[in-house]
């Protein structure tokens, strides 16, 4: 995808001014002339894409950028009713804002991609994804404050928080409720249980971050987030995505185990089998050549540690075992 210079996102007020200026007849060439005058720089029509978008959601408006793949303009002008942003594409490409074409097209997050950055208001102050660089992050959404299932989850996450911290892992919650609502809910939980929620909760009133991370399922609700869990590694890569329905609470112990398994797999350069828990053997990577296959079969016969050449086990390296013991 070739995006070379500047991405302009014009709010509805400016769009209205443009409409009034042109007496309601919004012709692309006249808009380009107007914007050229505003920017004191000529914008070439053949290199400009004009998009009118009545949708009040930035991520959905961004889907219009699919035209970049074919038209390759230097400028894109989006006009809608909500926010006002000016993006320097080169800067945001470096920050991985436009790191993934499919994410722009469908709002789908994928395992293995760079997690999109964000800036957010939370119950512990302003946060952005880059604040968690060098740590594992369990980023999860909940449908709403003062709801029964969500309350049990928040309590369970709080009780497990020390386990996550021992694994160099932070927790970050999100819903579309306001920050005041989050604070009142936190206080209510504390009054009734004595438990303080030790992790931030994002107040995503616009739903922009939730949609960026695919946390809203339109078949369920256009506003409420489902129970998503996104596990992001210290390099900012999405490693696990879990989705639960509104009426089923998450198993926090399984989320702890999943982080442990990811860390063990990375440390031992191996895979973890079904139902793996810390201190158990891991799966040896399968051989890639026939001589390696023959050698693996002999190894299994001698050590009785596998079913076949493609499925054998080993004890993880001592450094990984010691690391796991520290986390239990």
Q: Catalytic residues, which ones? A: 150
How big is the chain, counted in residues?
328
Alpha helices in the chain (DSSP H): 12-21, 28-39, 58-62, 68-71, 89-94, 101-106, 148-159, 161-166, 179-193, 208-212, 252-268, 290-303, 318-327
The radius of gyration computed from the CA coordinates of the chain, to the nearest angstrom, equals 25
**Looking at the DSSP assignment, which residues form a beta bridge with residue 282?**
314
CB of 218 closer than 8 Å to CB of 208:
no
Distances (CA, A) of 135 to 42, 155, 166, 196, 263: 45, 22, 11, 22, 12
Measured in whole angstroms, the distance separating CA 202 from the mean position of its chain's CA atoms is 13
């Amino acid at each position: 995808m070739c995006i070379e210079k500047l991405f302009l996102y014009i709010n509805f007020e400016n769009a209205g001014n443009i409409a009034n200026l042109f007496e309601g007849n919004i012709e692309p060439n006249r808009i380009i002339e107007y914007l050229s005058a505003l920017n004191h720089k000529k914008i070439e029509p053949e290199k400009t894409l004009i998009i009118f978008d009545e949708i009040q959601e930035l991520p959905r408006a961004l889907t219009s950028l699919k035209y970049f793949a074919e038209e390759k303009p230097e400028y894109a002008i989006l006009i809608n009713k909500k926010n006002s942003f000016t993006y320097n594409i080169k800067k945001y490409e470096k920050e991985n804002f436009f790191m993934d074409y499919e994410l722009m097209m469908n709002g789908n997050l994928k395992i293995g991609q760079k997690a999109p950055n964000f800036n957010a208001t939370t119950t512990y102050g302003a946060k952005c994804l880059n604040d968690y660089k060098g740590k594992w992050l369990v980023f999860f959404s909940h449908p709403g404050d003062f709801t029964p299932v969500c309350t049990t989850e928040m309590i369970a996450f709080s009780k497990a928080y020390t386990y996550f911290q021992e694994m160099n892992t932070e927790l970050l919650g999100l819903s579309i409720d306001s920050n005041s609502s989050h604070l009142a809910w936190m206080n209510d939980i504390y009054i009734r249980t004595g438990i303080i929620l030790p992790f931030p909760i994002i107040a995503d009133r616009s739903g922009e971050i939730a949609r960026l991370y695919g946390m809203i399922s339109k078949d369920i609700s256009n506003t409420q987030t489902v129970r998503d869990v996104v596990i992001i590694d210290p390099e900012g890569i999405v490693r696990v995505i879990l989705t639960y329905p509104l009426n089923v609470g998450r198993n926090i112990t399984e989320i702890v185990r999943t982080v442990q398994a990811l860390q063990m797999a990375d440390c031992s350069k191996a895979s973890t089998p079904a139902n793996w828990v810390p201190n158990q053997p891991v799966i040896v990577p399968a051989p890639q050549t026939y001589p390696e296959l023959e050698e693996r079969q002999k190894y299994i016969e001698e050590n009785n540690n596998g079913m076949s050449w493609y499925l054998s086990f080993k004890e993880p390296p001592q450094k990984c075992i010691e690391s796991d013991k520290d986390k239990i």
